[in-house]
Amino acid sequence: MGREVVQVRGLVPLAPEAVWSVVRDFCGAWHPWVETIREEQGEQGALVRAFTVQGEDTRYREQLTYLSDSDRVLGYTHLEGIKDCEAYDARITVTPAEAGGSVVGWTATVRAPASRLTAICEGTKAVFEAGIAALAAATEQASATPRPSPPVSFETLIFDDLPRLALSVTPGIGDDRLCLFLHGIGGGRTNWTPQVQAVGATMRAAALDLRGYGDSTLGPRQSTVDDYCADILRVAEKLGARRLVLVGLSYGSWIATSFAMRHPEMLDGLVLSGGCTGMSEAGPDEREAFRVSREVPMDAGQVPADFAPAVVKVLAGPDASEDTRQRLFDSMAAIPAATYRDALNCFTNPLERFDFAKLTMPVLLMTGEHDRLAPPAEIRGIAGRIWDAAPRPDVRFEVIAGAGHVCNVEQPDLYNRHLSTFLNRLT
C-alpha cells in the first residue's frame, strides 16, 4: 500500500473572510466540476456531502471531520467513490496574503495500491487547482448563523442522596437526551445560566453544582474523577436521560473528557472550553507545584474569598467589564475552603492519560482569545491531536474573541452562537 501527500497552494484576490464564506459551506456546489450535490447525515450527526461530477456516473461521498471558523480551516475524509482508495484525508486552509487577498492551501494524504496511487494523486491535484481557480471568481456569501431562541426558564432540583447534588434544569422537551454543563474549579452552576437558557430551547439542559459547590455537598471521602463520573450517571438516571452532551469549562472539561473515556457510547457530543487534559499529562513535580501553590494561602488561614481578587486577575481577559469581574469574584468567593482543597487534590491526582482514539462522538473545543491557563495555541494543538487519533474525527475548534479563561461568562453571546451551531447538528 502506497502513501502520498498532494499539496496545492494558490493566491485568491479576495479577502480571507470572503473566501472562507464560500469554502466553509461544505455542501455548497461552488466547485466548477460538481454537477449535483446533496447533504446527508452520517453517524452521530456527522455532515456528509454526496455529489457527482460532470461527465461521470460515480457518486462520491465525503465527511466533514474538522472545522474552525476562527482559524479558517476545514478538513474532510473520503467515504465512497474513488476506486481502490484505502484512505483519503484532506484539509483546506485560508490565510491572509502579505500583499493582500488570500492564500488557499489544499492538502490531501492518500493511501492506495501502488498501481492506483499516482492516478488518484494526479486527479486530486487537478481537482484542487480547479477549485482554487474558481474561488478567485467567487463572491462573498453570508454564513448561516442560527437565530437565537427566547430564553427558556429553569428550576432548581436537589437530589438528596449522599452526596447531595443540586442542578438548574430546564423542562423536558420530549426526548431522552440531556445537555449537562460542568463548571470550573472556581465556579458554580450559575456560571452557566445564559447557556442553560439558550440550549433549553433545543434540548433539555442542566447545570450541575459539582460536589461541595453551591447547594451540593462533598462525599464522605476525598473525591476522585470516578466519583464525578458516577455523579453524571446519577443525574442522567434521575432525569431519564439515556444520551448526553457534556459541556465543560476548565476543570469541568477535564471531568467531561474523563467521562468520555469511560462511557463514549452514552455521548452524542462533547464540548470542551478552556481546557481538556488538565493535569493528566503533567509530571509529578508539576502537579505537586500546582497543588501546593494554591494551598499555601489556605494553610495560612485564608479562604477562597480572601484570594479571589488575585484569581480574578488571572481568569479575566483585559476587556472584561466590572460586572463580569464581579461575577467571577462572587463565584470564587462562595467556595468553601474544604471544597477547594478537595477539588485541587482530585485535579492533581489524575487516574490516566487520555486516549483520544476513544472519542467517537463529535467534539467542539473553545477557548478565550486571552486565556492564560488554556491559551489558543494549546487547545488548537489538542484539537489536532483528537483529529489525528479519533477513528472517524468530527472536530470543531473556535477561539472566543475578547474573552479570558471563563469564556462563557465573558462572552456569552459568542459562546452560545458556536455552541448552538454545534448542537443544532446533533438534533
Q: Where is the domain boundary, 100, 135, 170?
A: 135
Strands 204-209 and 177-182 come out as parallel
In a domain, 94, yes or no: yes
In a domain, 148, yes or no: no
Tell me the pTM. 0.91
Helix, strand or coil for residue 218? coil
Cα atoms in the Cβ-side hemisphere of radius 13 Å centred on 322: 0
322 shares a domain with 181: yes
269 shares a domain with 395: yes
Q: Is the pLDDT of residue 390 over 70?
A: yes
Q: Where are the beta strands (DSSP E) in 231-350?
A: 243-249, 267-273
- Summarize pLDDT for 39-93 with one digit per residue, the tens: 999 888 899 999 999 999 999 999 999 999 999 999 999 999 999 999 999 999 9
Q: Is 195:407 a contact under the CB 8 Å cutoff?
A: no
166 shares a domain with 123: no
Spatial distance between the Cα atoms of 217 and 277, rounded to a whole number of angstroms:
25
Spatial distance between the Cα atoms of 417 and 146, rounded to a whole number of angstroms:
7
298 shares a domain with 160: yes
Cell numbers at 254, concatenated: 477535564
Range(s) of the domain holding residue 118? 2-135
The confidence score (pLDDT) of residue 141 equals 45
- Summarize pLDDT for 25-52 with one digit per residue, the tens: 999 999 999 999 999 998 888 999 999 9
Strands 363-368 and 267-273 come out as parallel
The confidence score (pLDDT) of residue 193 equals 96
- Summarize pLDDT for 319-373 with one digit per residue, the tens: 999 999 999 999 999 999 999 999 999 999 999 999 999 999 999 999 999 999 9
116 shares a domain with 42: yes
- Structural domain count of the chain: 2
The confidence score (pLDDT) of residue 427 equals 67
Neighbours of 374 (CB within 10 A): 25
In a domain, 418, yes or no: no
In a domain, 161, yes or no: yes
Q: Which amino acid is at 211?
A: R
Q: Is 236:362 a contact under the CB 8 Å cutoff?
A: no
Q: Is 406:328 a contact under the CB 8 Å cutoff?
A: yes
Match 474573552 to its residue by C-alpha cell. Answer: 403
Spatial distance between the Cα atoms of 183 and 406, rounded to a whole number of angstroms:
9
**CATH number reported for the structural domain that contains residue 177 in this entry:** 3.40.50.1820
Cell numbers at 186, concatenated: 472556581
Q: Where is the domain boundary, 135, 168, 191?
A: 135
121 shares a domain with 181: no
The confidence score (pLDDT) of residue 148 equals 58
The confidence score (pLDDT) of residue 142 equals 39
180 shares a domain with 110: no
Closest to 61 (Cα-Cα) out of 77, 74, 46 = 77
In a domain, 423, yes or no: no
396 shares a domain with 274: yes
**CATH number reported for the structural domain that contains residue 81 in this entry:** 3.30.530.20
254 shares a domain with 207: yes
182 shares a domain with 64: no
161 shares a domain with 115: no
239 shares a domain with 126: no
Cell numbers at 269, concatenated: 457530543
In a domain, 415, yes or no: no
The confidence score (pLDDT) of residue 143 equals 43
